[in-house]
């Protein structure tokens, strides 16, 4: 998640303090591992006709921010566990692992592609955890959007817009103090003092890790691998990168890509190159 500039800067100075003082008393007691490296292998998916893979299996790896051990299905005083149980009430009682992943940003709108991507990420981590010998079953995933613990004016403006368009899933109860604080706030004013309970619900996004959903997530990765492998195989045989990979990212991907300085399709040319009769490709100018 890319941190935004402008009025966010002041808020970001308080985010570590907000995370430690408000979140950690509930999260730390249930942590069993942090920065946990996980890996597993999967059968190479079927490739398009005539394409070859470089092997019969591929490795899937990830680093889980936090793995927690909790009891679900019984009374609890931990607000984090309470939110999980309220969101997934049909989870059988028992001891489970939780996959916890931090995001340095605000809760995405319900129509944001990031929302789906982050859910698939956590569900993939759940699959990886299931490959660990004698690991407990994963009861849920939790995405924690740190900005929600200490929202900025920009965050407030976006939340107001999302509420007006009904594209956010956590809103204050009608008539509550948070409801009046949000509806009475105007851009440029100080951020209202929203309740911890509301901010925590905004910060926590519980992800269902039912087996069918986890399988769907890793199947999506299989689909990506089925596109990567033919391109990688052709690149290996030809020694040419640009002619064997389809430009399919956006401007934000170009900013982070290591190949941006010699890629034949920087963001401003991508639309032209995807036309039926694209212009001839010319090497980009050297940076500077």
Which pLDDT tens digit goes with each residue over 271-287?
Answer: 555 566 655 544 443 33
Looking at the fold, whether 270 and 149 belong to one and the same domain comes out as: no
Q: Which residue do the tokens 């999302």 mark?
A: 162
Q: Are residues 144 and 76 in the same domain?
A: yes
Residue 285's pLDDT is: 39
Residues 144 and 207 in one domain: yes
Question: Do 252 and 135 have their domain in common?
Answer: no
Asked whether residue 157 falls in the same domain as residue 276, the answer is no
Low-confidence ranges of the chain (pLDDT < 70): 1-20, 249-252, 254-255, 260-288
Provide the domain count of the chain: 2
Distance CA 92, CA 102 (A): 26
Instruction: Tell whether 127 and 254 lie within a shared domain.
Output: no
Q: Is residue 239 part of a domain?
A: no
Asked if residue 134 and residue 79 are part of one domain, the reply reads: yes
Running DSSP on this structure, what letter comes out for residue 133? T
Q: Are residues 118 and 58 in the same domain?
A: yes
pLDDT score at 10: 43
**Which pLDDT does position 195 carry in this prediction?**
94
Strands 138-145 and 94-103: parallel
3-state per-residue secondary structure call for 244-283: HCCCCCCHHHHHHCCCCCCCCCCHHHHHHHCCCCCCCCCC
Boundary (domain end) residue, out of 205, 221, 237: 221
Whether 207 and 256 share a structural domain: no
261 in the same domain as 134:
no
Q: What ranges make up the beta strands (E) of 8-56?
A: 31-43
Last-in-domain residue among 221, 254, 271: 221
Asked if 135 and 64 sit in the same domain, the reply is: yes
66 lies in a domain? yes
265 lies in which domain range? 246-288
Instruction: Return the pLDDT at 77.
Output: 83
Q: What is the pLDDT of residue 204?
A: 93
């Amino acid at each position: 998640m890319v941190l935004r500039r402008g009025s966010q800067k002041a808020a970001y100075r308080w985010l570590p303090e907000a995370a430690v003082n408000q979140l950690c008393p509930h999260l730390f007691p249930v942590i069993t591992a942090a920065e946990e490296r996980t890996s597993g292998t999967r059968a190479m998916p079927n490739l398009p006709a005539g394409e070859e893979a470089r092997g019969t299996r591929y490795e899937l790896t990830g680093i889980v921010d936090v793995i927690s051990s909790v009891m679900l299905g019984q009374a609890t005083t931990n607000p984090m566990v309470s939110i999980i149980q309220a969101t997934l009430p049909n989870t059988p009682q028992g001891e489970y692992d939780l996959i916890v992943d931090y995001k340095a940003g605000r809760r995405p709108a319900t129509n944001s592609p990031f929302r789906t991507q982050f859910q698939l990420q956590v569900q993939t981590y759940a699959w990886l955890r299931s490959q660990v010998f004698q690991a407990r079953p994963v009861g849920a995933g939790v995405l924690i959007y740190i900005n929600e613990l200490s929202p900025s004016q920009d965050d407030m403006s976006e939340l107001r817009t999302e509420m007006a368009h009904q594209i956010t899933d956590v809103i204050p109860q009608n008539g509550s103090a948070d409801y009046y604080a949000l509806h009475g706030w105007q851009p440029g004013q100080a951020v209202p003092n929203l309740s911890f309970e509301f901010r925590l619900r905004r910060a926590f996004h519980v992800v269902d890790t039912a087996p069918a959903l986890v399988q769907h997530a890793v199947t999506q990765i299989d689909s990506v691998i089925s596109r990567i492998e033919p391109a990688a195989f052709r690149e290996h045989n030809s020694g040419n990168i640009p002619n064997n990979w389809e430009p399919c990212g956006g401007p934000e991907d170009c900013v982070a890509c290591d190949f941006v300085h010699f890629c034949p399709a920087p963001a401003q040319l991508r639309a032209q190159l995807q036309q039926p009769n694209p212009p001839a490709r010319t090497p980009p100018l050297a940076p500077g």
